[in-house]
Structure 1
Amino acid sequence: MTRIGYARVSTIDQDLDQQLAKLKAEGCAIIRSEKISGGSREGRNELATVIEFLRPGDELVVTRLDRLGRDTRDVLNIVHECEQRGAFVTVLDPHVTTRGDMGLMVLTVLGMVAQMERRFIKERQREGIERAKAKGVYRGGVARIDRVAVIEAHATGAGPAEIARRFGCSRMQVYRILSR
């Protein structure tokens, strides 16, 4: 039996150190981490690797349920995939495991709570943006990539993949900038 830890934060500005320390303290032999939104499973390559690696008797360990995902269906699908591989899932805070019969029920309820929390956060964010726009103080998000430099790089013959490497972003972001 191998304990495999999975850590995730939503943005590159956030820090994984606390999660990694907790997973190490729990005795996880392998720990995979990524910085990507938990809103869906799309693009979460480290999670896919962990699930693919699971063997019968292994344990996938996360610090909190929302690290697995913010959508109840996604979380339940992840748990189901782990169970199909003969492995189980353990959440450290609050401590819940799918090893017993009650674990899956508790994880389902916690998943629903995480999904509701995500909806509340999005709603509060939307309301805050609307209030800021009404006051005339909303300027939008901070540009993380110099759009003019991306366009200039493309004009000099650099392809989207090269531009993405140069600016530390995804090709999709480059395509979005170039399409505007």
Structure 2
Amino acid sequence: MADFVIAGLILTVLPLALAVAAISDLFTMIIPNRVSAVIVIAFLLLAPLSGLAWSAIGMNIVAGLIVFSVCFALFAFNIMGGGDAKLMTAAALWFGFDHSLLVFLVAIAFVGGGLTLLFLFLRAQAFTVMAMGIPLPASVVSEKKIPYAIAIAIGGFLSFQDAPIVGLAMQMLS
């Protein structure tokens, strides 16, 4: 029973938190700090319970620190928002320092590129789109920034199954 609960939490916490962050970012251009905090705390509590080796947990933390360093530099140069940097760092903990982190980051890059092009198009055509009766959030119409948590969330969804902790959760269920 305990394994079922632990596996269920592993399989739901990160995707749900990423979805909350994406929706919040789309409509408010704000990613609540508590979302990133939940992702970090859940990983730190669930990783040892999942059977993830302490050395692997350490490497996941290293991955998070590396992602934080890069994101902090991007934030310092006003290329990335602070909420996006915290969300990517928190999510990177779940992927660790192996191929799953690379899959996660590449997925974010591709989805983010497509998302940026979509937002640029929608902003250029906002009045036409709204005249057709299609409502657009303020982040699409009036903001100059891109709600990048959407790309982070989709990248997370696309690469989630590659995370080592997810593999362990699936083993717990079998």
- TM (normalized to structure 1)? 0.35
Relative contact order, CA 8 A, sep 6+: which one is greater?
Answer: 2
Which structure would you say has the larger Rg? 1
* Structure with the largest fraction of helix: 2
